[in-house]
Amino acid sequence: MLFNLWCIIMSKSWRSKSITIFLVLFSVSILLFAFTFVNSTPYTGQSIAETYNLTVGQSVFNGDSIVGENETIQLPLLSNLGFIGHQLLAFDLHGILMSVSTGVVPFDFTTVSSEGIDSYGNAVGIDGPGYLTFEGDKLAVKGPDNYVWGYSAPSKVLTKTSSGVNLVEDGKLIKSIPANEIKNLNFSSQYFNNDTIVSWYNYDAQEGDNFTIDKGMVGFSDGRNNINASDVPRIFGQDVVDYAAEYPTGSPILLYSGNYTEQQGGQGSTTFDSHPEYGDSIREINANQFVEAWNGTVIPPNSTSSGKDYVYFESANDASAPGGSAAHGVCPPARALRDAALAEGFEMPVGLTSDESAVLFGYNPASGVTVTNNHTYPVKILMWTEGEGVGMGIYCQIVRYIPEK
C-alpha cells in the first residue's frame, strides 16, 4: 500500500518536472521566434575570423577547436537569441540555462561555415591533418588531399657573426653566443654535434651564413600555413622530422599520404668496373656512398629533389679534374640512377650526363645532383648493390605511388 502510494507521488513528481521542462523549452522557443531578427548585423566567416583572430590556414585534427586559445566565442543573448537554437537541437539544457542566467550565448559556427565545423567550432568529419580555410565567404575545415607535401625550411639556426654566432628561432633572436663558448653548445642530432658546429664556424662559414639546427615546413601543396619545427612531429609525425633531417634545407618533403598502390617504374643497373689508377678501394667506398645518398628518396609530384645531405666522398688524385682530385667511383651508380630516371620519362638529372663518366665536375653526387618528378603522384627511388668489389652489381628502381580511387 505504502509502495503504491510512493509510486503515485513519484509519478506525479516526474510528470510535474516534465511539464516544467516542456514549458521552459516552449518559452525559449517562443522567445527564439520573437527575437530571431533582433540582431541586424550579419556574420560572415571573414568577419568572425578577423574579429576573433582565428588562424585561417592552421592545421587541425578531428575534434580540435578552430577557436584556439579563445575556447569559445560568447555573444550577448538578447541580440543573438537565434544562436540558442543549436543548444536546443543538442538538448543542451545546461547550456541553455547558462545562457539565460549569464546573458551570453555561444556563437553558432554553422551559420558561417560550409563544411567540417560543428556549431561549437570543433573540426568534424575529417581523417588526418586537415586545415582551416575560407570557402567563399564561409569558413571550412578541409581534410588533407591524398598527398600533402611542403618544403623544409630553417626554424632554429646559428648565424655566424663577427664575434660568434646568433641563435635565431623562427626569425627571432634568442641570444648571442661568443666564439669561445660555441664549443659548449648542446645542439646535436644523428647528423651533427658540437664538433661539427665548431668546424663549420672555423673553416666553412662566412659572416652571415647559417647552420640549421631544426627545420620547419613551408610552401604546402594545399596552401595551409607554415609550420614551425616544434609542431612538425605533432602534425605529421616523427618520421617526417627524421626524413627532413637527412636532406638539404629546402628539399621537398612528402608529409602525408592517403591510400595508394606501389607500382614499379623505370629501372637502371650497371656493374662496378675497375680503374686502378684512381684506387678501386676508394672508388668502391664512393659507389656505396652514392647508393646510400639516393636510396629511399621520395619526390612529391612535379617536384625536384637531391639525394641526402651529410654523405661524404673520398677524393682520388686526377690531374684532369678541377683542383686535381675527384670523387671517383660515383659514376657507375650515377649511370644506374640516370638510366632509371630516363626510363621513367624524367628529364636528364641535373649534374649527370649521358657519358660513361656520368657525374659532371662541380656537382656533389649526393646533394648537388637533382632528379625532377614530372608525374602527378610521388615516386620513391630505391638503390642497392649485390656483391662487392669489381663486378659488384648496382641497381636503381623507381617506385610510383599511384593513388587509389
pLDDT per residue rounded down to tens, the chain (405 residues): 434 433 443 454 545 555 555 455 545 554 444 444 444 457 899 999 998 899 999 999 999 999 976 567 766 665 555 556 555 555 565 556 555 555 567 788 988 999 999 988 999 999 999 999 999 999 999 999 999 999 999 999 999 999 999 999 999 999 999 999 999 999 988 889 999 999 999 999 999 999 999 999 999 999 999 999 999 999 999 999 999 999 999 999 999 999 999 999 999 999 999 999 999 999 999 999 999 999 999 999 999 999 999 999 999 888 888 888 889 999 999 999 999 999 999 999 999 999 999 999 999 999 999 999 999 999 999 999 999 999 999 999 999 999 997
Residue whose cell numbers read 565567404: 137
How far is Cα of residue 183 from the mean position of the Cα atoms in its chain?
Answer: 32
83-123: per-residue pLDDT in tens?
565 555 555 655 565 555 555 677 889 889 999 999 889 99
C-alpha grid cell, residue 44: 560572415
Q: How many CA atoms lie within 13 A of 54 on its CB side?
A: 30
Residue 14's φ and ψ, nearest 5 degrees, are -65, -40
* Strands 325-326 and 316-317, sheet pairing: antiparallel
* Model pLDDT, residue 120: 85
* Model pLDDT, residue 318: 84
**What is the sign, positive or negative, of the torsion defined by CA atoms of 294, 298, 302, 304?**
negative
| pTM > 0.95 | no
* Model pLDDT, residue 344: 98
Q: Which residues pair with 316 in a beta bridge?
A: 326
C-alpha grid cell, residue 243: 626524413
3-class DSSP state for residue 160? strand
Indicate the burial class of 1 (C-beta count within 10 angstroms; 0-12, 13-18, 19 or more). exposed
Q: Which residues contact 158 (CB under 8 A, 6 or more apart)?
A: 165, 166, 167, 168, 177, 185, 187, 197, 210, 211, 213
User: What are the DSSP E strand ranges found in 196-282?
Assistant: 210-218, 252-257, 260-271
* Model pLDDT, residue 37: 42
* Model pLDDT, residue 43: 86
* Model pLDDT, residue 9: 37
